[in-house]
């Protein structure tokens, strides 16, 4: 299988597929706060500057114009959990038709990669020897074979469009529905009190008997590896066998499919929750105390809160190492270039807790301590991944998590490494937050973020969450009360497509994944409006890009803003 072969550049003066553009202009302008005015309208408040963070005296600066880089990752997440972005279908033809609609939408945005959730739970959108079929494909029942291979279809159709396919996995999540949900209680034939009294193995047995969890689900076969928090089940990250199982899941996919990347989201240890107005953290009820006693204390971790936290971080890092090793081993053996990317929560740690952290208040959530326990900063510094897509899902004026300071923080974290930063933007918040947060009534919020990213050398792309929100709302079907937020979303889409996604771009090159030099095509000829060339079977090129421009090939094709295109992993 040819994976991510290098792109070859052919300069043709009269054929156009991609535009050649220069660097962003230096001119910037100060950002002011977007507010709801006394008369009910919205707009910028000229006398209220937006600063990088609470206590800063530096006003956020936004470039006055936008210049499309030659290389920029452009994508959106397609979530399948609870069929959020992709509906159940009755047939292979219906699946293919729906996925082609997704590709049509991505193509209309000039996106160059698809991030599709192929493992929303301990399940699979592909035939697997170690995971059951996903309930979200067709039947609504886990373990039911749809009779075709969705992942094979998606990879083939995505590559036909010249896009990358990033297979998105949730490594640990067993269930996403609370134990005492009415529909669950009905299925298992229990009262709320009876359900809450169940042990984790008892709950798994009940859910299996009710047909909610398939017989071949890893949690059903190994209930001793499962923990519960917030009435939801997840695999215990502290058990080595769990880490090996997740790595085996990845190995199965990279071995059997011509995917371009493995993509993890931000679900590691559970997020904190709020109960009766108070924060509740995983571990408060000693959920993994026995695991720590079995694996952590014998390994030399101190039996303290700090020791347990360090052990939890190391458990997640060990998983990342095993997955990375699995991918690297495959790449070396097959001469492929599968990437490893992660989209973590947007705050690593607060500066008040760690001098390396961001200028965010300690009351905000973070991923290094208290919950999640993902040391994403060190993963970048140790180059354990190829790209990071931090979910910076906040506006510039959000004091708890200001976009400007966090984007600069992630950019700085990647300095001196080959890890590329693709920012995750919250276009869903126009609908979710627009009713109470003025910034998300501003159709320019994400366009401002994309212009701001031009100031950050290590930011190489943007990913929009999620697929539903890159599609415009039909205003004729929207209730009057919801029209303002939907209008803000629609206007934002218009701005993004008109300028920021108007021109196609190449996915950022990754020379460290290349196995061979790519030679130029041979016998390049232009006859009228037709371009022809030949290539050799040994030249591991997947696709070619035709540019339109003036000048020499060296000026237009031989150089990029950040990379040389003659020997790049694709």
The full set of domain ranges for the chain reads: 8-21+512-558, 26-51+343-502
DSSP lists the bridge partners of residue 168 as: 117, 263
Retrieve residue 97's tokens: 């038709």
CB-based contacts of 465: which residues, under 8 Å, 6+ apart?
76, 77, 391, 393, 424, 425, 426, 427, 428
DSSP sequence for 215-228: TT-HHHH-GGGEEE
C-alpha to C-alpha distances, 444 to 36, 66, 306, 466, 501, nearest whole angstrom: 15, 13, 43, 18, 14
Q: Facing residues of 264 across strands?
A: 169, 342
Determine the Cα–Cα distance for residues 346 and 365; give it in Å rounded to an integer. 9
Give yes or no for residue 84 having a pLDDT over 90.
Answer: yes
Phi–psi pair at 45, nearest 5 degrees: -95, 110
Tokens of 421: 């930063």
Is residue 50's pLDDT more than 70? Answer: yes
- What average pLDDT does the segment 548-555 reach? 68
> CA 17, CA 19: separation in Å to the nearest integer?
7
Q: Are 564 and 508 in contact (CB under 8 A)?
A: no
How far apart CA 12 and CA 10 sit, in angstroms, is 6
Sign for the pseudo-dihedral over CA of 182, 187, 189, 195: negative
The pLDDT assigned to 545 comes to: 80
From 234, 302, 217, select the one nearest 269 (Cα to Cα).
Answer: 234
Model pLDDT, residue 550: 75
Describe the chain by its helix, strand, coil percentages, rounded to 5: 35, 20, 50
Q: What integer is the mean pLDDT of 193-219?
A: 98
The whole-number pLDDT of residue 5 equals 38
Does the pLDDT of residue 539 top 90, yes or no?
no
Taking the CB of residue 16, how many other CB atoms lie within 10 A of it?
11
Tokens of 348: 């690593």
> Residue 137: helix, strand or coil by DSSP?
coil
User: Mean of the pLDDT values across residues 307-317?
Assistant: 98
pTM of the model: 0.93
Mean pLDDT of 506-516: 92
> Binning pLDDT at 50, 70 and 90, where does residue 548 land?
confident
Q: What is the pLDDT of residues 474-485, one digit of tens each?
A: 999 999 999 999
Per-residue pLDDT tens over the stretch 414-426: 999 999 999 999 9
Residues 96-130: b if buried by 16+ CB within 10 A, e if exposed? beebeebbeebeebbbbbbbbbbbbbbbbbbbbee
Q: What is the model's pLDDT at position 552?
A: 66
At 251, the pLDDT band (50, 70, 90 cuts) reads: very high
List pLDDT tens digits, range 254-286. 999 999 999 999 999 999 999 999 999 999 999
Q: How far apart are CA 38 and CA 214, in angstroms?
A: 56
The maximal CA–CA distance of the chain, rounded, in angstroms, is: 78
Query: Residue 367 in contact with residue 289, Cβ under 8 Å?
Result: no
Instruction: Locate the DSSP E strands across 343-483.
Output: 387-388, 420-425, 459-464
Buried-exposed string 234-250: b where 16+ CB fall within 10 A, e elsewhere = bbbbbbeebbebbbebb
Digit-coded pLDDT (tens) for 365-384:
999 999 999 999 999 999 99
Alpha carbon of residue 349 to chain centroid: 20
- Between CA 468 and CA 156 the distance in angstroms is 23
- In this predicted structure, the answer to whether residue 554 has a pLDDT above a threshold of 70 is no
């Amino acid at each position: 299988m040819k994976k991510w072969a290098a792109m070859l550049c052919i300069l043709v003066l009269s054929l156009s597929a991609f535009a050649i553009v220069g660097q962003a202009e230096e001119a910037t302008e100060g950002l002011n706060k977007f507010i709801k005015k006394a008369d009910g309208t919205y707009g910028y408040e000229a006398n209220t500057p937006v600063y990088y963070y609470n206590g800063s005296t530096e006003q956020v600066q936004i470039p006055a114009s936008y210049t499309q880089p030659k290389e920029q990752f452009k994508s959106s997440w397609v979530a399948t959990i609870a069929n959020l972005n992709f509906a159940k279908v009755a047939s292979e033809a219906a699946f293919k038709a729906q996925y082609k609609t997704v590709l049509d939408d991505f193509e209309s945005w000039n996106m160059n990669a698809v991030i599709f959730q192929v493992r929303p739970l301990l399940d699979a959108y592909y035939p697997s020897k170690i995971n059951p079929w996903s309930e979200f494909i067709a039947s609504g029942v886990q373990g039911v074979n749809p009779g075709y291979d969705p992942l094979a279809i998606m990879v083939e159709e995505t590559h036909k469009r010249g896009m990358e396919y990033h297979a998105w996995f949730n490594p640990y999540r067993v269930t996403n529905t609370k134990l005492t949900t009415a529909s669950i209680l009905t299925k298992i034939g229990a009262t709320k009190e009876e359900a809450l009294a169940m042990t984790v193995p008892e709950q798994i047995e009940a859910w299996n008997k009710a047909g909610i969890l398939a017989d071949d689900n890893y949690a059903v076969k190994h209930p001793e590896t499962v923990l519960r928090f917030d009435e939801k089940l997840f695999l215990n990250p502290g058990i080595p066998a769990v880490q090996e199982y997740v790595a085996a899941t990845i190995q199965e996919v990279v071995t059997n499919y011509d995917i371009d990347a493995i993509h993890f989201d931000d679900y590691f240890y559970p997020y904190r929750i709020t109960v009766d107005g108070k924060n509740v953290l995983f571990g408060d009820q000693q959920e993994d105390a026995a695991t720590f006693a079995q694996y952590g204390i014998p390994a030399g971790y101190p039996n303290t809160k700090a020791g347990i936290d360090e052990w939890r971080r190391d458990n997640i890092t060990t998983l990342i190492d095993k997955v990375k090793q699995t991918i690297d081993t495959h790449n070396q053996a097959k001469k492929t270039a599968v990437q490893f990317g992660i989209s973590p929560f947007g705050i690593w740690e607060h500066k008040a807790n760690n001098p390396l952290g961001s200028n965010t208040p300690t009351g905000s959530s973070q991923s290094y301590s208290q919950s999640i326990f993902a040391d994403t900063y060190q993963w970048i510094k140790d180059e354990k991944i190829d790209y990071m897509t931090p979910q910076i899902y906040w506006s510039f004026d959000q004091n708890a998590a200001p976009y400007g300071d966090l984007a600069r923080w992630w950019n700085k974290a990647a300095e001196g490494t080959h890890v590329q930063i693709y920012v995750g933007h919250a276009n869903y918040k126009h609908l979710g937050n627009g009713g109470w947060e003025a910034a998300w009534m501003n159709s320019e919020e994400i366009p401002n973020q994309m212009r701001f990213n031009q100031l950050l050398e290590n930011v190489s792309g943007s990913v929009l969450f999620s697929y539903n929100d890159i599609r415009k709302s039909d205003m004729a079907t929207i209730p009057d009360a919801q029209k303002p937020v939907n209008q803000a979303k629609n206007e934002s889409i218009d701005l993004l497509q008109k300028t920021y996604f108007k021109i196609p771009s190449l996915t950022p090159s990754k020379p460290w994944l290349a196995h061979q030099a790519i030679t130029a095509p041979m016998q390049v000829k232009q006859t009228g409006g037709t371009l022809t060339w030949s290539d050799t079977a040994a030249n591991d090129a997947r696709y070619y890009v035709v540019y339109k421009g003036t000048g020499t090939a060296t000026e237009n094709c031989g150089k990029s803003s950040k990379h040389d295109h003659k020997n790049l992993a694709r």
